[in-house]
Structure 1
């Protein structure tokens, strides 16, 4: 299933189920209003959301509406924590506040992309197999840094269960291509081969994880620096060209007149 959090004036947004083709959505109000509720009671609530998703995909929900990514917050705006496992195994931590997929920045930035695994409860020292069992949802995230200081973490609009990834999900690995447009110009696509279970297990070596912890498997830095007035479009897609998590669109605010004086 594919899940998103629509902006409604609250900190966490309102949970919606999104159709497989990303065209339709339906509020999950009768089941849960926030994604964290689902993560806290996954065994009971997730099957109900799956049933809702099946009905939505078959066009059987009378109150479905067109899905609008512009209305999305991050799927889990306030996670239990955010940790990124780097290529060398080092772990970088942050509080877990996620900006939405279209939230602008007000400063130049360098981006570090990660496949983000949203976990259920996970015991300390869990191995990769146990960590995969605790894997609930996946999304795409970018840490934006200025002078090596984290200024924002941005998440794609959708969090999806691994079974929704189709051919991009193979024996615990996500294999896809990262596509980017910088100021409207296509950048070289990047092949992605990430192991979210291994990333979760790496963090679980250090401590137990609570439901709602997000762990990123680093996909490396973006090969560009965004400056004032720039725009960036990022989308992780299958080999067939289907978007896995919806696109992230970032604008860097242009310099104010006072900044130019």
Structure 2
């Protein structure tokens, strides 16, 4: 099934079930008012949401006994909030080591051996996520504005110290992420030895999240085996294969985060920027492209995003249909109130 949230009903939105072709939806208010509420009681809500999804995707008249008489409506993706407008926890990884290896090589640094056996992850901001068509607000182009196209998973309640095999059963939803980065602020922050703060503003989530069964054979070994498409200002930027060169599966990432603490329902775990050894498939962030330019010619030639630039991030199934809907955002200057 596919789930989304309307921009109504407060900070956490209003939960809706979305048709497989992303054209129709129905409110799920009598099951759970928000996606967070649904995840906190997933064993009860998931079967009921799935039943609603089956009826929504079936042909014929709408049964009045479903959802207190609510009727399906035409879906306007531009009107959607993030499926989880805010989450209790968001942990992002860097599971694609080709990206890490290139960045390190560009500055003549070795990749620590531990990176190949121990996931690189950080605690990200989760107090609010941008909707799929919300603008990326930044005060200055000097910050080095970058997109990062990623896949993410959402868990139910995860016990502490789960194994990767156990963690796999706690992955309930899958989505896409534009993990906005301000590249020129990152070096000074990391030099302090304490992680990201100012260099990682709010990220945007795909219009819908889907259950793993929606991906069919493309969901294998806790990885998504499909290309992730990115465009900048309508020009193809990259389509690396999300299932290739992923050093750690999502099950391994979830288990890593839960090693010393349980995870609450609605925890988001990101894959990190998708990158392949095969560079002909393009990139998922400008930092990657600029790194390749440094390795090839000694200096970067592609600029970071400017005000007015627009990005599109989307994943299609093998038949060419959009799975999650597209993240479509334009970079906009933010002017603080005086």
TM-based fold match above 0.5: yes
Check whether the contact 2:149–2:230 (CA below 8 A) recurs between aligned residues: no
Q: May I ask how many residue pairs the two structures share in their alignment?
A: 256
Whole-Å separation in 1 of the counterparts to 2:94 and 2:220: 21
* RMSD across aligned positions (CA): 1.8
- Which structure would you say has the larger Rg? 2
Unaligned runs of 5+ in 2: 64-70, 96-114, 187-198, 275-283, 288-303
Question: Match for 2:230 among 172, 180, 185?
Answer: 180
User: Partner of 2:285 in structure 1?
Assistant: 222
Task: Write out the 4+ residue segments of structure 1 that deviate beyond 3 Å after TM superposition.
Answer: none
Unaligned runs of 5+ in 1: 257-261
Whole-Å separation in 2 of the counterparts to 1:114 and 1:227: 21
Bigger drift between 29-38 and 106-115 goes to 106-115
Q: 1:198/1:244 Cα in 2 relative to 1: closer, same or farther (>3 Å)?
A: farther
Whole-Å separation in 1 of the counterparts to 2:305 and 2:317: 26
Whole-Å separation in 2 of the counterparts to 1:45 and 1:255: 39
Question: Match for 2:75 among 62, 67, 70?
Answer: 67
Query: Which structure shows the bigger proportion of residues in strand conformation?
Result: 1
Check whether the contact 1:84–1:114 (CA below 8 A) recurs between aligned residues: no
Deviation at 1:212, TM superposition (A): 1.1
Question: Match for 2:136 among 83, 101, 105?
Answer: 105
Query: Which structure shows the bigger proportion of residues in helix conformation?
Result: 2
Whole-Å separation in 2 of the counterparts to 1:44 and 1:188: 40
Deviation at 1:103, TM superposition (A): 0.9
Bigger drift between 117-126 and 232-241 goes to 232-241
Query: Is residue 243 from structure 1 mapped to residue 322 from structure 2 by the alignment?
Result: yes
Check whether the contact 1:114–1:140 (CA below 8 A) recurs between aligned residues: yes
Deviation at 1:9, TM superposition (A): 5.3
**Residues 77-111 of structure 1: per-residue CA shift (max 9 Å, x gap):** 11111001213411111231211111102224212
Provide the TM-score with structure 1 as the length reference: 0.92
